[in-house]
Amino acid sequence: MDVMTATTIDQLSNELHRLGIHFLRFPDQSLETRPLSPVELLASLASHSEARMRLALIPLLLWHPEYADAVHLASRRLASSSRLVLQCYYTAAVLLQQMYSARLQTLGASLQPLPDLYSVQLGLPISGSPEQCLAVLANHQSQFSGQPFNWFGTYQHAAESFLAYRERELAWIT
């Protein structure tokens, strides 16, 4: 059973905004919320009922690769379906970090690489480009979840939307 069910969209949005993740919407700044621990934030996003909240895991991990340290603890708090979401989105972030490393570096993101925690468990090939591995992950997530979505496009949309916003933000201040 998922532990993190009481965290609201506003609390999550505020926390993401505080961390520099302007991915979802402008937060309700009149709502005072306590900061969430990395474990709480990861588990809350992975178990959220709304897909856009779950998808925020990718930009969070791209911008804060140090959150990788909390992934295993967050995973242990989750039901199997939410654990799979966390593992797939985390692995997508690992691959997207490699694909977009130049853009991330230009934007001032941390150069700390996300460690590969789940590719073997998820059945990804040990060789191949990040794009090829991302396509395999997308196919596996469709099979694992029983949801035949365009997961590859979903992963890329999360990264592209976040990076495009950060690039516009950088252009505004320079």
The domain segmentation of the chain, as residue ranges, is 9-173
H-type alpha helices, the chain: 9-18, 38-46, 51-55, 57-63, 71-76, 80-99, 101-106, 130-145, 151-173
Look over the chain and give the mean of its residue pLDDT values, rounded to a whole number: 90
Q: Is the pLDDT of residue 122 over 90?
A: yes
pLDDT for 7: 72
Please, which pLDDT band fits residue 33 given cuts at 50, 70 and 90? Answer: confident
Average pLDDT of span 14-39 = 79
Contact 66, 126 (CB under 8 A): no
Please, which pLDDT band fits residue 2 given cuts at 50, 70 and 90? Answer: very low
Q: Is the pLDDT of residue 133 over 80?
A: yes
pLDDT for 170: 85
Q: Residue 162 contacts by C-beta under 8 Å, 6 or more apart in sequence?
A: 21, 22, 23, 58, 59, 62, 63
Distance CA 11, CA 110 (A): 25
pLDDT for 5: 43
Please, which pLDDT band fits residue 8 given cuts at 50, 70 and 90? Answer: confident
Average pLDDT of span 103-124 = 94
Q: Residue 35 contacts by C-beta under 8 Å, 6 or more apart in sequence?
A: 15, 18
Return the minimum-mean-pLDDT range out of 25-34, 83-92, 94-103, 115-124.
25-34
Span 93-113, pLDDT tens digits:
999 999 999 999 999 999 899
